Amino acid sequence: MSAAAPPVDAPVARDATPPVEDRFAGRVPRAGWRVIASKELGDHLLSVRFIVLLIVLGLAAAIPLYFAADLIRAAAPQASQAPAVFLALFTIGSQDYSFLRVDSFVAIVAPLLGLAFAFDAINGERSEGTLPRLLAQPIYRDDVINGKFAAGLAVISLVLAIVVAVTAALGIFRVGIVPAPQELLRIVIWLLVTIIYVAFWLAFGLLLSVVTRRAATSALVGFGIWFLVVPFGRFLVTFILAFLVPTTNELSDSNLAAINIHTFILRLLPTTLYNEASTVLLNPSATFASTPPTVGENIQVLQQAPTLLSLDQSLLIVWPHVVVLLALTVACFAVAYVKFMRQEVRA
């Protein structure tokens, strides 16, 4: 007797093999960049590079702090009742050497952090032969560059926070002035702007690491451009503009137009943007970041009574500078990201 046939509407057995994307979804971590970032962060914190840069940046802030503290202590009878005295620790330096100020030294030395932690991020892995093995791991390719950038930015933020905190603590100990909450908030915002400024140099160093094959080449190009842009960029641009768009001391619309052309071209340098933002944030009496465009507005500024701006008023002045610095950082990182994703990596 033959077996009974299955009913017509009985379910037909199907292949239980899951789709390809479901099989590999559990093997590729969703946050692979965090794995790369944590590994890079540990390597950075235990490296000699981190300790050396921390000491260099600390000395860069301690030397002008020594001059600023002496000047404030000498003028203590007149400055005891003045507002925003604590912020003067970051903006007052030697009378003979104007660059011996905490904000000026940080603007010069801090970009070295970004270049130092990024110039060999990709080509260092390539020269050691570890980049193909790294990309063979179950992570996405962009997790590598994202993780390295995140780790570098975290280390830079840590170094800058330590230096600013130690500077403020030494200022309180040496001068004996307790900062007001508004002054502390200004310092915190200035620290955030400094991190954005250094992040631009980190993204630029990462770009050099992607487009060059050797770490020595990217280091030479990166530090050479830093040397031309940061210490001497303003001098070189001003020297060239003095021949192309000359200015005088007279108060006229044509002269003010030439001065504004100088200001616009100088603001193409990230150092100019950062220095102007630092001046407004650390000096509440700074009511503008550039020369007014007309004679009437210039006269109004000259006739304006000295006043202190609130924090929100200062932020209204510097937010264009911060937006441009962010745009430059995103642009450099985007170019490095696209270049890295299109590169061929051979074992």
Instruction: Tell me which of 64 and 281 has the higher pLDDT.
Output: 281
CA separation for the pair 225, 57 (Å, rounded): 20
Is the pLDDT at 207 greater than 90? The verdict is yes
Q: Is the pLDDT of residue 249 over 70?
A: no
Burial call 162-195: b when 16+ CB within 10 Å, e when fewer: ebbeebbebbeebbebebeeebeebbebbbebbb
68 close to 85: Cβ distance less than 8 angstroms: no
Cα-Cα-Cα-Cα dihedral sign, residues 224, 230, 231, 237: positive
What is the mean predicted confidence (pLDDT) over 214-236?
89
Whole-number pLDDT of residue 45: 87
pLDDT at 32: 79
Q: What is the pLDDT of residue 24?
A: 45
- Position of tokens 């239980």? 16
- The DSSP call for residue 210 is H
Q: Mean pLDDT, to the nearest integer, of 80-103?
A: 67
Q: pLDDT digits over 158-194, tens only?
A: 988 988 888 888 777 777 777 888 889 999 999 999 9
Identify which has the larger pLDDT, 154 or 250.
154
Q: Residue 277: pLDDT above 80?
A: yes
Q: Is the pLDDT of residue 308 over 70?
A: yes
What pLDDT is recorded for position 329? 95
CA distance 118 to 108: 18
Of 137 and 14, which is predicted with more confidence?
137
pLDDT at 135: 79
Mean pLDDT (whole number) for 287-306: 56
First to last CA, the chain: 66
Burial category of 21 from C-beta neighbours within 10 Å (exposed 0-12, middle 13-18, buried 19 and up) = exposed
- Which residues are CB-neighbours of 114 under 8 A, at least 6 positions away? 152, 156, 198, 199, 200, 201, 202, 203, 204, 205
> What is the Rg, in whole angstroms, of the alpha carbon atoms belonging to the chain?
27
- Note the pTM of the prediction, 2 decimals: 0.82
pLDDT for 13 equals: 47
So what's the pLDDT on residue 19? 53
pLDDT of residue 189: 95
How high is the pLDDT of residue 74?
63
Out of 51-55, 80-84, 241-245, least confident range: 80-84
What per-residue confidence (pLDDT) applies to 155? Answer: 92
Task: Output DSSP code: residue 261.
Answer: H
Percentage of the chain lying above the pLDDT 70 cut: 76
Q: What is the 3-state secondary structure (H, E, C) of 22-44?
A: HHHHCCCCCCHHHHHHHHHHHHH
pLDDT band at 252 (very low <50, low <70, confident <90, very high): low
- Per-residue pLDDT band at 83 (split at 50, 70, 90): low
Whether residue 227 has pLDDT greater than 80: yes
* pLDDT recorded at residue 302: 52
Compute the mean pLDDT over every residue in the chain, rounded to the nearest whole number: 79
Most confident residue range from 1-15, 89-103, 151-165: 151-165
Q: 123 versus 259: which is more confidently predicted? A: 123
The sign of the CA dihedral 267, 85, 54, 31 is negative
Q: What is the pLDDT of residues 313-344, one digit of tens each?
A: 889 989 999 999 999 999 999 999 999 988 87
